[in-house]
Structure 1
């Protein structure tokens, strides 16, 4: 009985030790995704579709990592819009890509 109790306490302690780090990792990734999405929007408004794509891809990488660490429906929706922004940006449609990046930003900010 004592051995089982000690193993259970060690497991609980390990879980409590790691749990906050998982949450912080998700928040860090979302914050980075927001930063890159804002950069994408700024460049999209200037008509720089290729630079928008670069920042949107970086934002997508961070958003997906944040979603993997801690699932959130707003993050998932932000990811969809980032993918759309990337697709339209690659086609040279800076205005449409910017609209999707702005929608992604709204969702990512709600996920934070």
Structure 2
């Protein structure tokens, strides 16, 4: 019993030490996702579908990392819209891709 208690205490301590880091990592990724989403919107409004795709993919990478570190329904919804932004941007539809990026931005900002 004593050995089990020691292992449990160690595991619990490790969980408490690493938990804040996971939260900070998620926040950092959300911030990066927001930055890239804003760039996607800016380039999409200028009609540059290829640049919209590049920034939306970068935002998507960070949003997915944030969701993996700490689940959040707003991040999940942002991911859905970023995927749609990439899909439409790849078809050359900068206007529709921009609309999805703007929706993604709203959700990502709510996740902060």
Normalising by structure 2, report the TM-score: 0.95
Unmatched 5+ residue regions in structure 2?
none
Cα drift, residue 92 of structure 1: 1.1
Counterpart in 1 of 2:38?
Answer: 38
Question: 3-state DSSP class of the match of 1:68?
Answer: helix
**Structure 2 equivalent of residue 20 of structure 1:** 20
- Asked if residue 80 in structure 1 is aligned to residue 85 in structure 2, the reply is no
CA-CA distance at 1:90 after TM superposition: 0.9
CA distance in 1 between partners of 2:6 and 2:87 (Å): 54
- Aligned-partner SS, 1:71: coil
How many residue pairs match? The answer is 112
The equivalent residue for 2:52 is: 52
TM-score by length of 1: 0.95
What displacement does 1:4 show? Answer: 2.9
Distance (whole Å) between structure 1 residues aligned to residue 92 and residue 53 of structure 2: 10
Deviation at residue 5 of structure 1 after TM alignment: 2.7
SS in 2 for 1:89: helix
